[in-house]
Amino acid sequence: MTTVVLNRRNLLAVGGSVLATGVSGLLLPARAEGLAPTDSMSGGSNNYRKGAAIVDRIGKGGFWMSGTVRRAGDGTPLAGQRIQIWAHTTEGQEHEPQSHGATLTDKDGAFRLEMPQIIPIFGQPHGHLAYDSGEFKTVFLRPVMRSAKETSLEAHFVLQPA
């Protein structure tokens, strides 16, 4: 059997815990803060074209852009979300229509779109991605590749309701 010793040190420790957490902290289970939403990146919306077509592939392909889309707070994967992708590539500059395309997320909130190899512009090989469908707040991303020799790039969205 466990013996509880009530002395001044134990009473002070318990009292301090109650003050720090409040009585509700003792009665309610601990909760995670949740998944924070993704902020738009500086330069992410450069050369954005509203309404780019949903495509199977941009150009001749050879490079893969992929990622996930989840809901802020609980992290639930979001299916059927439209992600627009564009970049400066071996087949066109990022402001040209043929360098833009969009895809939809699958049941697990994942997306993947093949496109031409990204090449550096302004000294950085980078892509642009946007969520702009309206159900959630618009987010623009501009991930930078570590090397222009890489053949894939990932970007992940955590969206909050509009």
- The correct CATH number of 63-159 out of 3.40.605.10, 3.90.1150.10, 2.60.130.10, 2.60.120.260 is 2.60.130.10
Question: Is there a contact between 122 and 134 (Cβ–Cβ < 8 Å)?
Answer: no
- In whole angstroms, give the CA distance from residue 43 to residue 3: 64
Q: Does the global pTM surpass 0.85?
A: no
Tell me what pLDDT residue 28 has: 40
Token digits of residue 43: 């330069």
pLDDT (tens digit, 9 = 90+) per residue, 51-90?
Answer: 999 999 999 999 999 999 999 999 999 999 999 999 999 9
> Would you list the domain boundaries of the chain?
63-159
Q: What share of the chain is helix, strand, coil (3-state, %, to 5)?
A: 15, 35, 50
Strand 100-104 to 82-87 pairing = antiparallel
Mean pLDDT of 136-146: 95
